[in-house]
Amino acid sequence: MNSVENFLKSDRPNFDKKHRNNIRFYMAMYLSIILTNKSLPVPTDLTNISLKTLNQKTLDNALEQVYSVYKALGGNDQTAKGPDLKEEVKTKAKECITG
């Protein structure tokens, strides 16, 4: 989670704070699925993620994927709080790991 927050704050300083707050948890969820290669990672899976795999390209891709879904669903606080964003992001991540 810290890596996502640091990425959004330092690598995307002009990224609107409201959107940053709305998507950071969804980015972390997306990354947890991608980096563990599991659709339902458990805490031990997350602790085994190598920070070396969490590189700029991976973070950029996660932002692009999550933000596109977020914007398509409305791109506001209600979108972030509703059930659709979570399901769509999970679906997108699962598609990525299954090819």
pLDDT of residue 68: 96
3-state helix, strand, coil in the chain (%, to 5): 75, 0, 25
Banded pLDDT at 42 (limits 50, 70, 90): very high
pLDDT more than 90, % of the chain: 78
How confident is the model at residue 53, as a pLDDT? 85
Average pLDDT estimate for 83-95: 96
pLDDT value at residue 93:
97
Structure tokens at 17: 């704070």
Going from N- to C-terminal start, the domains of the chain cover 2-98
Distance CA 34, CA 96 (A): 7
Per-residue pLDDT band for 14 (boundaries 50, 70, 90) equals confident
pTM of the model: 0.92
Question: In this structure, are residues 85 and 22 in contact, taking their beta carbons and an 8 Å threshold?
Answer: no
